Amino acid sequence: MADPAVSFKRDLSEWRIVMVAWRLLALQAADPVVGAGMAEHSTYRAHPWRRVEHTLGSGRRLFYQDAETLRREVARLERAHKRIRGTTPDGRPYDARDAGTRAWVLLTLFECVVAMRRLGGDGYDAVQLEDAYAEFKESVAAFDLPEGELPPTAKDLPAYFARYARERLEFTEAARYLMGDLLREAPRPRRLWFLGDAGWRVVRALAARVVTELTVADLPAVVRERFGLVRTRRGALLSFLLHRGAGALVRLLPDRLRYRSPEERRPTGRHRPHRRDTRGSRLDRFFREVLDQTGDGFITVHDLRAMAHNVCWQLELDEAAEARVYAAFDGWWEQLRTVMDANGDGKVSREEFVAATVAGCDRDGAYLEQGLLPALGAVFTAADADGSGFLEFDEYRTVFGGPRVHPVELSHGFRQLDTDGDGRITREEFLCGFTEFFTARTDSASGTQLLGRA
């Protein structure tokens, strides 16, 4: 019988899971299929915090919620992974539905929870470990993995990890970037607005050194050996002090502070000061903060599909609704490619986007109706969960909220669109607000502040 004091699902919701989150991403990115998918389809470079939140949030939905939530999450992951396939630069095909890769990704989540407790000084004993693994396997049974993909018992895990590391793992470009430059380049989370750009650069540099040292020190020895990484004495000491300190602290906390509820709302705080935008600067900001999902300075089809993916992810749409959103965003990309990709390389730069959009809006009043507005119309329809023809604030927050959107700015954006002030947004108000954002020459129109007070 399972020890009532031990629960894998509950341990996954403990706040110190963030201490092994980077380790989790590195282990997953080291699988060549995951690494290839991240390189071409993921937005982790431009939105690392969203990537972490999606990974941990998906884990909580898989293991910490009811059977219906689990079913929806598995179906959503299946649809997302179906679109992640292609060929690596060296000619190897990859497909996110590969059974071995899927098993590895799931097992790394379990292994990181086990590592979190072991490093914190409160590791599972042999019986607890088997009970936690049985609980884990019960949840992931919904993925219907082929027989034999998951080790039968927890005591078989060390051999599985050693074999997989030696036979499958590679120090992929995605893993290298996660372990090296990503944190040195990461954008400032909005909740740290008070640091300012200069303060964030200092904090970011320090955090990059600490997280890199900690991650290398905490990786399984077989993985460090595979990648040629060295666990320094400084890293080992840092790992011991941070994990043991956190482990001692959480054991003193009441459950309401120790564990994070999946429904917990993000903390609030002050918004950044207002700064007026011209039309060109608004479009420039829209490119950087919205369109360039991969953070490489260009728009490609993958950026638009990443936006569609994020909408579908937030709304938990069914397959038919997802297909409509993706089709609308593919249509938007076709317009951008046709109008702006002069050399046919499949990329649109920021300068090309701003210049072509300004020229298009000046030249043709129906310019936005050829790509942007159909995509936004699909978003509105998908977000209107009850089919009322209006977006209530909760529906708006579901699709436009996120870890980098301050609640004050989210409320401000809603009010900008709700021009008659009745507490709900019509389809006409929704599309009109975005039209003003792109076309207004001054900042007096309400729609020009949809991205907040920059």
Beta bridge partners of 95: 85
CA atoms within 13 A on the CB side of 220: 24
Per-residue pLDDT, averaged over 413-420, amounts to 80
Give the pLDDT score at 434: 82
Mean predicted confidence (pLDDT) in 418-432 = 85
Give the largest CA-CA distance in the chain. Answer: 73
pLDDT value at residue 66: 67
User: How far is Cα 181 from Cα 177, in angstroms, rounded to an integer?
Assistant: 5
Residue 268: band (very low, low, confident or very high) from pLDDT cuts 50, 70, 90: very low
Residue 451 pLDDT greater than 70, yes or no: no
Query: Who wins on pLDDT, 241 or 74?
Result: 241
| H or E, element range at 80 | helix 67-82
Task: Residue 266: name the closest of 453, 450, 408 by CA.
Answer: 408
Please report, for residues 61, 259, 291, 453, the alpha-carbon distance to residue 141 in angstroms, rounded to integers and kept in the order given. Answer: 14, 25, 37, 46
pLDDT digits (tens, 9 = 90+) for 343-391: 888 899 888 888 888 888 777 666 788 888 899 999 999 999 888 999 9
Q: Where are the domains of the chain?
A: 8-258, 279-449
Rounded (10°) CA dihedral 416, 418, 419, 421: -120
Grade residue 402 by pLDDT with cuts at 50, 70 and 90: low
Q: How far apart are the first and last CA of the chain?
A: 56
pLDDT score, position 233: 94
* pLDDT: which is higher, 412 or 177: 177
Determine the pLDDT at residue 267: 40
State pTM to two decimals: 0.62
Calpha distance 394→411 (Å, rounded): 10
Whole-number Å distance between alpha carbons of 315 and 317: 5
**Residues 313-331 pLDDT 10s:** 888 888 888 999 999 999 9
State the DSSP code for 14: B
Q: Give 152 or 450, the one with higher predicted confidence.
A: 152
Does residue 264 register a pLDDT over 90? no
Q: What is the pLDDT of residue 70?
A: 74
Position 263 confidence tier, pLDDT thresholds 50, 70, 90: very low
Confidence tier at 269 by pLDDT (50, 70, 90): very low
Residue 274 pLDDT > 50, yes or no? no
**pLDDT one-digit tens code per residue, 12-63:** 888 899 899 889 989 999 999 999 888 877 766 767 776 677 776 776 677 7
Whether the pLDDT of residue 206 is over 80: the answer is yes
Mean pLDDT of 225-229: 92
Write down the pLDDT at residue 245: 96
Q: Among positive and negative, which fits the CA dihedral 60, 63, 64, 70?
A: positive
Instruction: With cut-offs at 50, 70 and 90, classify the pLDDT of residue 446.
Output: low
pLDDT bracket for residue 3 (50, 70, 90): very low
Q: 3-state DSSP helix/strand/coil percent for the chain, to nearest 5?
A: 65, 5, 30
Structure tokens at 258: 């120790």
pLDDT at res. 49: 72
Residue 276: pLDDT band with limits 50, 70, 90:
very low
Higher pLDDT, 72 or 425: 425
- The residue with greater pLDDT, 75 or 338, is 338
CA 359 to CA 357: how far, in whole Å?
5
Angle value at C-alpha 356, between 291 and 292, nearest 5 degrees? 15
pLDDT in tens, 92-150: 898 988 999 999 999 999 999 999 999 999 999 999 999 999 999 988 888 888 988 99
**CATH architecture, domain defined by 279-449:** Orthogonal Bundle (1.10)
**Average pLDDT value for residue range 70-74:** 77
Greater confidence, 328 or 419?
328
Q: Answer whether residue 91 shows pLDDT above 60.
A: yes
* CA 93 – CA 83 distance, rounded (Å): 14
Averaged pLDDT, 218-246: 94
